[in-house]
């Protein structure tokens, strides 16, 4: 028969495991005996926050992504207004007295005096034009305030006689009448571009 010592040795080796299992059972009992917290009622108060939850434990208030300015602008209708201003100048036909006085201010020459065209600047100040007179074909004569005479050639399809009562021209930023840029408008509605300018200078044969 085996001795008592041989039987007691396996029991001694099982004692540590039996003690740990007892502690686990006791720990489980302690956890089960702890009273569980009952969640507070989630009834919202007047401010929209749930009752029964401390302010420190409440989550952050919900924020909207709509900016106040966007809300303000959303109800507005934006309209763009463009204002343009135009100034139209009228050049009247030269009066006979003015034309005679301008011609009289030119150097006195004999009856054989003729005029030739000479190159000049492509622009003249509109305010320096004293009057206009129709010429042959598509040519106009401008009488300047400084006693000069300027010959203006219009487009080939235009007739000078359409401008017998003067012309209108839109004022530009520089205040000048220029070749290949400005158009003269007659009272009858004809529009002709200025193609050439020449100064008339008296010569002797």
CA 176 to CA 166: how far, in whole Å?
A: 17
Q: Which token pair is 201?
A: 């200078």
Q: What is the DSSP letter of 61?
A: P
Q: Could you tell me the sign of the dihedral formed by the alpha carbons of 156, 162, 163, 167, in that order?
A: negative
The secondary structure element, H or E, covering residue 200 is strand 191-203
pLDDT digits (tens, 9 = 90+) for 43-74: 445 555 555 555 555 555 555 565 665 655 55
CA 191 to CA 184: how far, in whole Å?
A: 6
Q: Which token pair is 185?
A: 């408008």
CB atoms within 10 A of CB 185: 17
Helix, strand or coil, per DSSP, at residue 65: coil
CA 154 to CA 139: how far, in whole Å?
A: 6
Q: What is the DSSP letter of 134?
A: E
Residue pair 157/195 in contact by the 8 Å Cβ criterion:
no
Q: How confident is the model at residue 112 (pLDDT cuts 50, 70, 90)?
A: low
Q: How confident is the model at residue 96 (pLDDT cuts 50, 70, 90)?
A: low
Q: How confident is the model at residue 23 (pLDDT cuts 50, 70, 90)?
A: very low
Q: Which token pair is 119?
A: 């190159």
For the full predicted model, state whether its pTM sits above 0.85.
no
| pLDDT at residue 38 tops 50 | no
| pLDDT at residue 3 tops 90 | no
pLDDT attached to residue 204: 72
Residue 145 sits at φ, ψ, to 5 deg, of -75, -15
pLDDT digits (tens, 9 = 90+) for 114-157: 889 999 999 999 999 999 999 999 999 999 999 999 999 999 99
Residue pair 196/152 in contact by the 8 Å Cβ criterion:
yes
Residue ranges covered by each domain of the chain: 88-203
Find all residues with CB under 8 Å of 68, minimum gap 6, and list them: none
pLDDT top residue among 27 and 197: 197
pLDDT attached to residue 142: 95
pLDDT attached to residue 126: 94
| pLDDT at residue 109 tops 90 | no
pLDDT digits (tens, 9 = 90+) for 153-205: 999 999 999 998 999 999 899 999 999 999 999 988 899 999 999 999 988 76
Q: Using CB atoms within 10 A of its CB, is residue 153 exposed (0-12), middle (13-18) or buried (19+)? A: buried
């Amino acid at each position: 028969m085996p001795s008592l010592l041989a039987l007691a040795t396996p029991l001694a080796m099982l004692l540590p495991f039996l003690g740990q299992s007892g502690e686990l059972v006791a720990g489980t009992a302690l956890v089960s005996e702890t009273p569980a917290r009952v969640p507070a009622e989630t009834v919202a108060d007047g401010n929209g926050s749930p009752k029964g939850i401390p302010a420190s434990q409440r989550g952050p208030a919900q924020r909207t992504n709509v900016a106040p300015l966007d809300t303000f602008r959303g109800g507005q209708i934006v309209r763009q207004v463009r204002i343009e201003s135009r100034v139209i100048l009228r050049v009247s036909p030269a009066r006979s007295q003015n034309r005679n006085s301008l011609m009289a201010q030119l150097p006195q020459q004999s009856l054989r005096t003729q005029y030739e065209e000479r190159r000049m600047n492509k622009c003249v100040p509109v305010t320096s034009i004293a009057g206009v007179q129709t010429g042959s074909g598509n040519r106009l004569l401008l009488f300047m305030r400084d006693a000069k005479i300027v010959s203006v050639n219009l487009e080939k399809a235009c007739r000078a006689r359409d401008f017998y009562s003067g012309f209108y021209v839109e004022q530009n930023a520089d205040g000048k009448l220029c070749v290949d840029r400005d158009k003269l408008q007659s009272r009858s509605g004809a529009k002709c571009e200025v193609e050439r300018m020449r100064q008339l200078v008296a010569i002797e044969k």
